[in-house]
Amino acid sequence: MDTHFLVNTPYGVSNSNANYQASDEDWQIASTIVTEERVRWVVAYFAPFESPGIDGIYPVLLYIIIGRLIKLLRASTELGYIPIQWRTAMVVFVPKPGRNDYIQPKSFRRISLMSFLLKTTKRLIDRHIRDGTLVRYPLHAN
Helices 66-79 and 116-128, packing angle to 10 deg: 60
DSSP per-residue string spanning 43-93: HHHS-TTPPP-TT---HHHHHHTHHHHHHHHHHHHHHT---HHHH--EEEE
57-115 pLDDT, tens digit per residue, is 999 999 999 999 999 999 999 999 999 999 999 999 999 999 989 999 999 999 999 99
pTM of the predicted protein model? 0.80
- pLDDT of 13: 53
25-49 pLDDT, tens digit per residue, is 999 999 999 999 999 999 999 999 9
